[in-house]
Amino acid sequence: MPEIAAVIAFAWATVLLVAGGLLILRSDDPLERVLVLDVLVAIVIVVLTTLSYLRDVSYYIDAALGLALLSFVATLVACRHVIRGRPF
């Protein structure tokens, strides 16, 4: 992949990450914050993937795999916390 394409993709993914952060700051509902945080993790996975294309190494995608696993558990527990007031 040409380097310029990877650079543009990485820059755009970073812009999306900042936009997602502003979205979290703006939301006024706990469940909406959980949802935006879930989306934000997907964007971080995109950032790590484009970084791996940019630097031409593969282990950033492995970090993304761990992040996806952790965020899934975090979302489930945060949802339970919103509706019950406690995680379990």
Q: Which residues bind other proteins (CB under 8 A)?
A: 1-2, 5, 9, 12-13, 16, 19-20, 22-23, 25-26, 28-32, 34-36, 38-39, 42-43, 45-46, 49-50, 52-53, 56, 58-59, 61-62, 64-65, 68-69, 71-72, 75-76, 79-86
- CB proximity list for 53: less than 8 A, separation 6 or greater: 1, 6, 9, 10
**Closest approach of other proteins to the CB of residue 35, in Å:** 5
Which one, of 79, 4, 86, 2, lies nearest residue 38 by Cα? 79
